[in-house]
Each structure stands twice: as C-alpha cells, then as structure tokens.
Amino acid sequence: MIQILTKILLFIFIISFSACEDKGSQKTQTQEVQYKFTLPMPKVEENHINKYFKLSLWHKAKYDPIPATQIGYAYANKLQDYQKALEWFEYSNSMKPTADNSAYACYVLQEMKQYDKAIKWCNNSIIQKSNKEALFMLGTIYEDTQKYDKAIEYYKLSANKGYVNAMNNLGFVYNEKLKDYKEAEQWYLKAVKEKNYTAFNNIALFYHEDLHNDIKASAYAIALIGNKFSYRSVMNLLKKDWKIPNEIIKKGYELQLNSDEFPIKYKGDLGL
C-alpha cells in the first residue's frame, strides 16, 4: 500500500477548458491576423471529433492557439497519443509562443523519452515564465536520465517557489539515489508539513527500511488512516508486511496523536 513514488503527476494543466473555449469564440478579424504565421494545422481522425473534442473546438483551432492547445491536451490525456499531442502543442506554439505551450510540449516529449528535446522545451517555458511546475518537470527529466545533481538543482528551485511535489521528490532522490538520509528526512518533513500524502507514504517507508525506526514509521502510516487509506490496509501493512509488534504500533499511534510534527492525525481506536 505505501510505496515510494519517484514522480508525482508531472504536469498540471492550467487551462480551464470551458472558460478558454468561450474566450476563443470571441476572436475578432484583427486577432485572427495576429496569428497568421503558423505551422500547418495537424490532421485529425474524423471519429475523434465530438468524441474527444468538439467540432467547434477544431474550427476555432484554425485561428486561435487556445483551442489548439486543448486538442493537444485531449490527445495526451484521453488517448495517450503523445506524438499527435506534440503536433498540436507545436502548432499552437507557432501561433503564439507561451510558457504553457512549451511546458506541454516538454511533458509529452518526456513521456516519449525524447529527453534532449524535452529539456529544450522546458527551458523555453522557464525562460518565458519561471514557474514552479516547469522547474519541477525539468527536475523529473534529469532524474529520469540519472543526472541527480541537476535534478536536485531544479527541484530546489521549484521547492523554493512552494511546490510541494518537488520537496517530496528531493526527499526521494536524497534517500534512494544518493543515500543522504539527513537531507532526505529534512525534505520529506517539509512536504509532510504541507500535508502531502505521498510524502507521508515515503517517509513511513524511509523510517522503516532505512532508519529502522518503526515507531515513526507506524506514526506516519497511522496518520493516513481515514485521510488516504483505510484502517485495514494500514494495519495489514504494519502488522503483516512490516511485522511491527503491537506495542510499537501503539507508540506510533500516540506519537502522531500528540506531536505537532503531524499536520494530519488519526484519532480513532486502533483496536489493539
């Protein structure tokens, strides 16, 4: 049940589709001319129209980068057709280069394992707008390619902007890849403080497997009961998988219940 995750969701799609589609319908002739220097519009399968995106969206994509980006998102998210999604993101970006379009292209290229191209697009996004999501994405690319010093560099830039997933990933890289347990603990705890459930997962396993502190391992697992996991799944993990004695589990329960270190707590009866 509890396991270390090296990547969280790589990408947060920022666009609100309904709002953007309404705005796209209001383009004037002057605005259409603004985007005249574009790549050819990508082809679509006829059976995809009105199934994965609306016909009206496809018509608007002829002159508006926002609907074009939405179609790219549909190919990436609904069909996992990353090559087609990339074509639409590049087409949208050719109409109007934006940090978001570059980040979208970076995301699908990473999924296609075309890391050099992905890095280029991520850097384009960061140059236009140094946002925490693009910095995080670049960190994941360097982690995927085992360039851990660079991964740490960009994760820290993202974490310093308040991106909690980057804090958690820093904990993972220091823990699993570099075996720097002091740094790993510090970054996991920062993510835990922000109520990141994955960080609770990771730090519980970290305390159990690496630091051999089953009181804290139990505490972080128990805190997730009713917040992320069921009572049964957590107790099975602690008692059957990790074989932690009841007395240690009880101490973990008391720790998470009474310590300010835990922003979420389980206050129910353990039944032990």
Cα–Cα distance measured from residue 57 to residue 71, given in angstroms and rounded to the nearest whole number: 8
Nearest-angstrom CA–CA distance, 83 and 195:
36
**131 backbone dihedrals φ, ψ, rounded to 5°:** -90, 155
Gap between the Cα atoms of 139 and 234, Å rounded: 31
Mean pLDDT of 5-16: 42
Burial class from Cβ neighbours inside 10 Å (0-12, 13-18, 19+) for residue 56 reads: middle
146, pLDDT greater than 70? yes
Indicate the burial class of 272 (C-beta count within 10 angstroms; 0-12, 13-18, 19 or more): exposed
Q: Which range is least confidently modeled, 10-14, 140-144, 217-221, 257-261?
A: 10-14
Answer yes or no: is pLDDT of 6 > 70.
no
More confident residue, 18 or 45: 45
Handedness of CA 185, 186, 192, 198 (dihedral sign): negative
**Predicted confidence (pLDDT) at residue 17 exceeds the cutoff of 50:** no
Share of the chain above pLDDT 90, in %: 82
Instruction: Give the bridge partners for 49, in sequence order.
Output: 53
CB 65 within 8 A of CB 90: no
Domains of the chain: 8-129 (1.25.40)
Closest to 117 in 3D by CA, of 125, 106, 103 = 106
Q: What is the tens place of the pLDDT at every residue in 62-97?
A: 999 999 999 999 999 999 999 999 999 999 999 999
pTM value is: 0.84
User: pLDDT tens digits for 102-112?
Assistant: 999 999 999 99
Q: What is the pLDDT of residue 29?
A: 38
Q: Are 134 and 120 in contact (CB under 8 A)?
A: no
